Amino acid sequence: MEQLSPWSRAFLALVSATLGLTVFGVVQARRDARRRRLWITVSTAGGVVSVCAALALAATALLSTVEAAPVAIGFDDEFTLRSQADEDIRVGALSLDAGSYLLSAKLSVDEPPKKPPKEAPEADGGVRITCRLDAERDWDIVSVTVRPGDSTPVALSVAHTYRKSGWAFLHCRVTSEQPRTTALKQVKIIALRVDSTRITQLSDAPASNI
């Protein structure tokens, strides 16, 4: 009974009560000939309600076995990041049902080769990208510097339990004094459903175990 939902407990109690009423009506119909029709009606009504409640209980049990997909993936082959200085841009979002998840995000930051001096006379040391994976109050953040002509991978991860359906968001920004356009390729947000999550600080480990 402890593992039954409130609705299942209510239907089970209704089945028990109506079955008892059905039996009581049958017994009284045999004992009380003058009101036999009344007791038969009571017994029949109790039986009908009992069957309906049992069907509802079975449907509830069946629905409780239907679980959301254990893995959810959102992807974008290429996202063009047009960002002002330190302006957060939403790169992707993944809708999730209530439950516990291990979330991860990955992408590749591609910086085009340095332009010829006539087109870009100022020195170009590359671009610095900061990305953040948000799951309500839990988050992870990573910053990378990409030189011209290079491609740098970015990976983030976070564990979170959603009390109700929610979203996982991936934001990125260019840390630059001037607006820039950068290509983010093979963008993915992956959610692996787990039974539960537990987050602790690594420094909390006892010294004897080091």
Same domain, residue pair 60 and 75: no
- pTM comes to 0.62
The pLDDT value given to residue 12? 65
The stretch 73-98 carries a mean pLDDT of 89
In the prediction, which pLDDT does 58 show? 66
Q: Are 177 and 85 in contact (CB under 8 A)?
A: yes
Residue in the structure block whose two tokens are 């009571």: 42
Considering the domain architecture, whether residues 83 and 48 belong to the same structural domain is answered as no
Q: Is the pLDDT of residue 93 over 70?
A: yes
d(CA 169, CA 92): 6
Same domain, 101 and 129: yes
- As a whole number, the mean pLDDT across the chain is 79
Q: Do residues 55 and 80 both lie within one domain?
A: no
Residue 89, Cβ density class (10 Å: 0-12 exposed, 13-18 middle, ≥19 buried): middle
Strand-strand pairing, 180-194 and 151-162: unpaired
Phi, psi of 21 (to 5 degrees): -65, -40
- For residue 187, is pLDDT > 90? yes
**Which CATH number goes with the domain that contains 154?**
2.60.120.660
pLDDT of residue 184: 94
Of 208, 203, 191, nearest to 74 (Cα)? 191
How far is the C-alpha of 19 from the C-alpha of 11, rounded, in Å?
Answer: 12
Q: Which two tokens stand for residue 132?
A: 């953040």
Query: What pLDDT, on the 0 to 100 scale, is given for residue 1?
Result: 43
Q: Are 181 and 82 in contact (CB under 8 A)?
A: yes
pLDDT score, position 70: 85
- Asked if 115 contacts 209 with a C-beta cutoff of 8 angstroms, the reply is no
Q: Please give the Cα distance from 46 to 85 (Å, whole number).
A: 72
199 within a domain of the structure (yes/no): no
The last residue of one of the domains, among 25, 46, 64, is 64
* 92 & 175 share domain: yes
pLDDT at 140 over 90: yes
Pairwise pLDDT comparison (196 vs 134), residue with the higher score:
134
Q: Is residue 200 part of a domain?
A: no
pLDDT in tens, 49-79: 767 766 776 666 655 555 556 888 999 999 9
On whether residue 207 sits in a domain, the answer given is: no
Task: Please state the domain count of the chain.
Answer: 2
What integer is the mean pLDDT of 187-207?
Answer: 80
Q: Is the pLDDT of residue 84 over 90?
A: no
Sign of CA dihedral 186, 141, 193, 74: negative
What are the tens digits of pLDDT across the range 2-32? 455 665 666 566 667 666 767 776 777 777 7
Compute the radius of gyration of the chain from its Cα atoms.
31
